[in-house]
Structure 1
Amino acid sequence: MTPRISRKTRVTGTALAAAALLAAGITVGTAGASPAPTPTKADGSPLRLSASHRAELLRDAGAARAQTAQALGLGSQEKLVVKDVIKDADGTTHTRYDRTYAGLPVLGGDLVVHTAKGGAIKSTTKSTDKTLKVASTTAKIAPQAAAKSAQGTAAKSLAAKQTAAQAPKKVVWAASGTPVLAYDTVVKGTQKDGTPSRMHVITDANTGKKLFQYDEIRTGKGESEYSGSVELGTSKEGSGFTLTDAGRGGHKTTNLGNSESGDGKAFTDDDDAWGTGKPDDPQTAAVDAHYGAAETWDYYKNVHGRSGIKGDGKGASSRVHYGNSYVNAFWDDSCFCMTYGDGEGNKKPLTAIDVAAHEMSHGVTSATANLTYSGESGGLNEGTSDIFGTSVEFYAKNDKDPGDYLIGEKIDINGDGKPLRYMDKPSKDGQSQDNWDSNTGNLDPHYSSGVANHFFYLLSEGSGAKEIGGVKYDSPTADGSKVTGIGRDKAEKIWFKALTEYMTSNTDYKAAREATVKAATDLYGKDSAEVKGVEAAWTGVAVK
């Protein structure tokens, strides 16, 4: 039977190849599904803000920026820029700010101000405690020299096909060491596998020394084709329909047609019946991507009360059929979109549900803590996407591919039938870390993320051998200690609250421990079993 996927109606389909992170037999939950239980001991759970209420809080924070800066003791050259705001049930408000110095953006200067119900500042979470000051905002190194140096750095790091440096922008670099005047040069390029790159190279504006580099493009790995009965949000346009989900912020899915640029063309269908269940039909990948985006939207809304990636009720977009035989998928802030390749031989589109959830979660991270995609913060960024990708898979409740703590278990990307990553013991993939050590920050974020993944598994399920949903796990701890899990639902809420309220761009693993302890305390109380569980799970991965 040919799949017939219509606007908010159930449609059945033929079986696709079983190389998906989410396998056959899916029925999507509706956008109005019941939310998971909220904490009962403490009342630090985030409120479900309407778009108008959130906008009002943002306006209030913007109007009070000068007073807030004065209350924090910031210098006369510093100004606050409101980025996000979250309000808890107990009245506590968490306002996230970026900073400028003498009109220049401050990289690594972001902070979160935690304000009590009455308006008093309870505490502040800063990405740096250094005094923000530079001797002069006049650079000694010419912009052209910085651009040339940055282009060379990017070309060497990426082994790129091509690179092109944009005009450097003066900034204040405060993410490490003493704040200095610097250039932020964005170098656009294309990597060997076809992944686009926007490498940021930070150079000292007075000495020309490279200070830091990170890529703006967040990549994920996987191959997917899946089948089942799904519901899609589509819109009537003209005489036909498009993949525009009005119920989820207007999220669109478009067709790049194997190009590597542009927004893509709208998918249209006369009878609102999409795909054939086979990869040679361009609509099939679009169905998978559109469905995965819907499940992810519903998860964040119904579990965490977040409406859309930025919390503003606006949808992102999905672009499918990127490049030729491109075996990857990525999130790009500049287009606020997810992009999917068609896999080896253009036969295995990377449009599985947890790929979508992983990529969209990079967007959530960018809109909140904005964890820099390098060093330990890069591992936490990537780990966050694995954590929420796994969480969405559990949320979907697909009886043919139930949620588990195995990443990419259906894709067989290595050709040996094994998962891509393991949360209970990350080192089983041969590259990821089980536990933190002094070299963690030097690893690729996909491998340093193992520490966060292992923590999340221990916090959810505990250590030792066990079988969950028919899958056998055996999770060790760094010191041989026994960890008792608190349950995945609570672990998800703690990680989300820590990410959105207590992590900053420069958060490392030690700071992530502090952030999750604070989050658990807010949600469940100071001496709760949940707080003790967080502490034990971090100790179990050698983060103390």
Structure 2
Amino acid sequence: MNLHTTPHTPRATRTRGTRRLAALAAVAAMVVAGVQAGSAVATPGDDAARATAATPSTAAALGVNPSAQRATAIKSAQAEASSAAKALKLGGQEKLIARDVIKDARGTVHTRYERTYDGLPVLGGDLVTHTTAAGELKSVDRATDAKIAVASTTPKLKAAASARKVIFASHGGEPVLAWETVKKGVQKDGTPSRVHTITDATTGKKLHSYEAIETGTGNSQYSGEVELTTTKSDAGFELTDGERGGHKTYDLNQGSSGTGDLVTDDDDTWGDGTGGDRQTAAVDAHYGAAKTWDFYKSALGRDGIAGDGKAAYSRVHYGENYVNAFWDDSCFCMTYGDGEGNKAALTSIDVAAHEMTHGLTSATANLDYAGESGGLNEATSDILGASVEFFADNASDAGDYLIGEKIDINGDGTPLRYMDKPSKDGNSADFWDENLGNLDVHYSSGVANHFFYLLAEGSGKKTVNGVEYDSATSDGSTLTGIGREKAYQIWYKALSVYMTSTTDYAGARVATEKAATDLFGADSEELKAVSATWTGVNVK
């Protein structure tokens, strides 16, 4: 993932597109025309039932394409990418690479691009164009406002054989020619490590370094008796979900590489609900992945993590006494440890959803995993992870706004994170301040988690599914929630069509306000609530 040290608020510009850009928009509109028009309106209640009933209009309002149409739209956008670059007045050495095309219910076509310069990838050069069906370029959200240009693409300093030559534009200053190297290893807790380091190719100065493996923790072994979609094989049954893109669950057998063995069973009855049975962790991982897929499909209208109808895969029983779980873009997979004593695998619904959502973020805004954008990346996984837990409506693990409340990693029964008051964990921030980007991304995420809770539920004391909450604002204002469904629709819309790799908290406010306007209107109470809630967490 492309990272940066100084987040930069995306810029919106307004100009008139060329005829070629109009043709591009028209093509994109035709290939995604199969999405039914309508608007998504939801109220608090039964998440799963309401989301399923609202699928056609929700998909249209959020701007989601069926996977086959999405692939055609991207291909068409790439064929016209050079014309789009000219319409955006990019330099002659710059080229655009189409990553996604979405047409929403209002007819706006949102095209997400990566950028190259003289054939080199531009880290922090991504942008999203927003174009009417008639071809008018309404606005552009850019990861950087800087002009992409360097004096030379010939480095003065040599780098290791494995280094990749890039243009680094994610630091908020002028783009520079740089080397990107990746060092593989193992973190202190046993998590795999892939540290990316960006070095100025002229001076040798270290520009940035980040860890590419994205981690998270959650509940385990609390889903009770569940239904699984499996596949009959010659030897019995295997954990392959043919209804959800072919998702497979593997047993690493305490290893730390490869896929291990596909989990199989002779009678299609899996695990016993305890950590003593090796199948139990696989059951929870498989079930959590299925519920996340279903949430994406019915609540967001999205066909899989990358929107292409293809599943990721899960690996359980990673390492010895590994108390964590992680998402890895390189394998497009989720991996789960077994916890202390290898008896409490971190494979619950919200953990699966959290990890899969890192993949979703990578496939959309690709939020840099550092600084404020890194906090937004982590918060997105918490936000949608919590939303999936509510959506699953599982009596053994009821939905809540607590992260990791069942696994007792702290040893005193407390959760890892609290969305209603993040600072209760002793590390996370409740409100934005100028030093927020210096926190670990799991703690800077607190402001966005708090925003989501307040937007969904409002301020003050309340009880949800038997859990008591008490949330306050930075300015003492009183907020009334708009409900979870509307809140996660707004967040997802902002993530998928307005955020870029360098979006910071100020940019997130702009993106969610745009999303609320698209979904509910410029004079809507939902838009007013979004603005008031951001003010309530001190994001002005």
- With normalisation by structure 2, the TM-score equals 0.89
Which residue of structure 2 aligns with residue 263 of structure 1?
259
Question: Structure 1 residues 333-342 or 112-121, which shifts more?
Answer: 112-121
Counterpart of 1:458 (choices 422, 439, 454) is 454
> 1:445-469 CA distances to partner (integer Å, 9 max, x unpaired)?
0000000000001111111122222
Cα distance, 1:404 vs structure 2: 1.3
> 1:398-446 CA distances to partner (integer Å, 9 max, x unpaired)?
2343211111122221111111111111001110000011110000000
Which residue of structure 1 aligns with residue 164 of structure 2?
169
> 1:129-153 CA distances to partner (integer Å, 9 max, x unpaired)?
1101000001111103xxxxxxxxx
Q: Secondary structure in 2 aligned to 1:83?
A: strand
Q: Secondary structure in 1 aligned to 2:334?
A: strand
Counterpart of 2:510 (choices 502, 510, 514) is 514
**8 Å Cα contact 1:222-1:327 kept in structure 2:** no
Cα distance, 1:222 vs structure 2: 3.5
Closer, same or farther: CA 316–401 of 1 in aligned 2, 3 Å: same
Which residue of structure 1 aligns with residue 276 of structure 2?
280
Question: Following the alignment from structure 1 to structure 2, what is the Cα–Cα distance between the partners of residues 353 and 193?
Answer: 23
The code of the aligned residue for 1:363 comes to G
**8 Å Cα contact 1:214-1:372 kept in structure 2:** no
Which residue of structure 2 aligns with residue 250 of structure 1?
246
Which residue of structure 2 aligns with residue 363 of structure 1?
359
Which residue of structure 2 aligns with residue 540 of structure 1?
536
The code of the aligned residue for 2:185 comes to G
Which residue of structure 1 aligns with residue 380 of structure 2?
384
Q: Secondary structure in 1 aligned to 2:150?
A: coil
Which residue of structure 2 aligns with residue 241 of structure 1?
237
Counterpart of 1:504 (choices 495, 500, 512) is 500
Q: What are the residue-to-residue correspondences of 1:75-94 with 2, within 5 Å?
A: 75-94=91-110
Cα distance, 1:228 vs structure 2: 2.2
Query: How many percent identity over aligned positions?
Result: 65
Question: Following the alignment from structure 1 to structure 2, what is the Cα–Cα distance between the partners of residues 403 and 36?
Answer: 21
Cα distance, 1:223 vs structure 2: 5.2
Question: Following the alignment from structure 1 to structure 2, what is the Cα–Cα distance between the partners of residues 536 and 36?
Answer: 28
Which residue of structure 2 aligns with residue 311 of structure 1?
307
Kindly indicate whether residue 62 of structure 2 is the aligned counterpart of residue 66 of structure 1.
no
Which residue of structure 1 aligns with residue 132 of structure 2?
116
**8 Å Cα contact 1:256-1:322 kept in structure 2:** yes
Cα distance, 1:510 vs structure 2: 0.4
The code of the aligned residue for 1:315 comes to A
Closer, same or farther: CA 511–427 of 1 in aligned 2, 3 Å: same
**8 Å Cα contact 2:218-2:405 kept in structure 1:** no
**8 Å Cα contact 2:389-2:399 kept in structure 1:** yes
Which residue of structure 2 aligns with residue 139 of structure 1?
155
> 1:225-252 CA distances to partner (integer Å, 9 max, x unpaired)?
2252211111122232111101000011
The code of the aligned residue for 1:218 comes to E
Counterpart of 2:183 (choices 163, 187, 196) is 187
Q: Secondary structure in 2 aligned to 1:143?
A: coil
**8 Å Cα contact 1:479-1:540 kept in structure 2:** yes
Question: Following the alignment from structure 1 to structure 2, what is the Cα–Cα distance between the partners of residues 193 and 90?
Answer: 48
Cα distance, 1:38 vs structure 2: 4.7
Q: What are the residue-to-residue correspondences of 1:458-497 with 2, within 5 Å?
A: 458-497=454-493
Counterpart of 1:102 (choices 111, 114, 118) is 118
**8 Å Cα contact 1:185-1:200 kept in structure 2:** yes
**8 Å Cα contact 1:461-1:488 kept in structure 2:** yes
Question: Following the alignment from structure 1 to structure 2, what is the Cα–Cα distance between the partners of residues 504 and 47?
Answer: 17
Closer, same or farther: CA 44–35 of 1 in aligned 2, 3 Å: closer
> 1:321-352 CA distances to partner (integer Å, 9 max, x unpaired)?
00011000000000000000000010100101
**8 Å Cα contact 1:213-1:374 kept in structure 2:** no
Q: Secondary structure in 2 aligned to 1:260?
A: coil
Q: What are the residue-to-residue correspondences of 1:15-94 with 2, within 5 Å?
A: 33-35=52-54, 38=57, 45-94=61-110
Counterpart of 2:416 (choices 397, 420, 433) is 420
**8 Å Cα contact 1:84-1:95 kept in structure 2:** yes
The code of the aligned residue for 2:455 comes to L
Question: Structure 1 residues 344-353 or 399-408, which shifts more?
Answer: 399-408
Cα distance, 1:318 vs structure 2: 0.1
Question: Following the alignment from structure 1 to structure 2, what is the Cα–Cα distance between the partners of residues 369 and 503?
Answer: 5
Number of residue equivalences: 492
Unaligned runs of 5+ residues in structure 2 are 1-46
> 1:5-42 CA distances to partner (integer Å, 9 max, x unpaired)?
xxxxxxxxxxxxxxxxxxxxxxx989x94446957xxx
Root-mean-square deviation (Å): 1.7
The code of the aligned residue for 2:418 comes to Y
Question: Following the alignment from structure 2 to structure 1, what is the Cα–Cα distance between the partners of residues 479 and 57?
Answer: 24
Which residue of structure 1 aligns with residue 146 of structure 2?
130
**8 Å Cα contact 2:122-2:167 kept in structure 1:** yes
Which residue of structure 1 aligns with residue 293 of structure 2?
297
**8 Å Cα contact 1:44-1:522 kept in structure 2:** no
Which residue of structure 2 aligns with residue 212 of structure 1?
208
Which residue of structure 1 aligns with residue 199 of structure 2?
203
Q: Secondary structure in 2 aligned to 1:283?
A: helix
Question: Following the alignment from structure 2 to structure 1, what is the Cα–Cα distance between the partners of residues 305 and 427?
Answer: 30
**8 Å Cα contact 1:190-1:197 kept in structure 2:** yes
Q: Secondary structure in 1 aligned to 2:243?
A: helix
Question: Following the alignment from structure 2 to structure 1, what is the Cα–Cα distance between the partners of residues 306 and 419?
Answer: 27
Question: Following the alignment from structure 1 to structure 2, what is the Cα–Cα distance between the partners of residues 222 and 392?
Answer: 13
Counterpart of 1:429 (choices 425, 428, 444) is 425
**8 Å Cα contact 1:170-1:182 kept in structure 2:** yes
Unaligned runs of 5+ residues in structure 1 are 1-27, 145-165
Q: What are the residue-to-residue correspondences of 1:332-347 with 2, within 5 Å?
A: 332-347=328-343
- With normalisation by structure 1, the TM-score equals 0.88
Closer, same or farther: CA 513–133 of 1 in aligned 2, 3 Å: same
Question: Following the alignment from structure 1 to structure 2, what is the Cα–Cα distance between the partners of residues 38 and 391?
Answer: 19
The code of the aligned residue for 2:469 comes to Y
Question: Following the alignment from structure 1 to structure 2, what is the Cα–Cα distance between the partners of residues 377 and 138?
Answer: 31
Which residue of structure 2 aligns with residue 8 of structure 1?
none
Question: Following the alignment from structure 2 to structure 1, what is the Cα–Cα distance between the partners of residues 63 and 451?
Answer: 26
Question: Following the alignment from structure 1 to structure 2, what is the Cα–Cα distance between the partners of residues 98 and 227?
Answer: 40
Kindly indicate whether residue 220 of structure 2 is the aligned counterpart of residue 224 of structure 1.
yes
Q: Secondary structure in 1 aligned to 2:443?
A: helix
Which residue of structure 2 aligns with residue 321 of structure 1?
317
Which residue of structure 2 aligns with residue 7 of structure 1?
none
Q: Secondary structure in 2 aligned to 1:376?
A: helix
Cα distance, 1:501 vs structure 2: 0.4
Question: Structure 1 residues 467-476 or 430-439, which shifts more?
Answer: 467-476
Closer, same or farther: CA 227–299 of 1 in aligned 2, 3 Å: closer
The code of the aligned residue for 1:531 comes to L
The code of the aligned residue for 1:280 comes to G
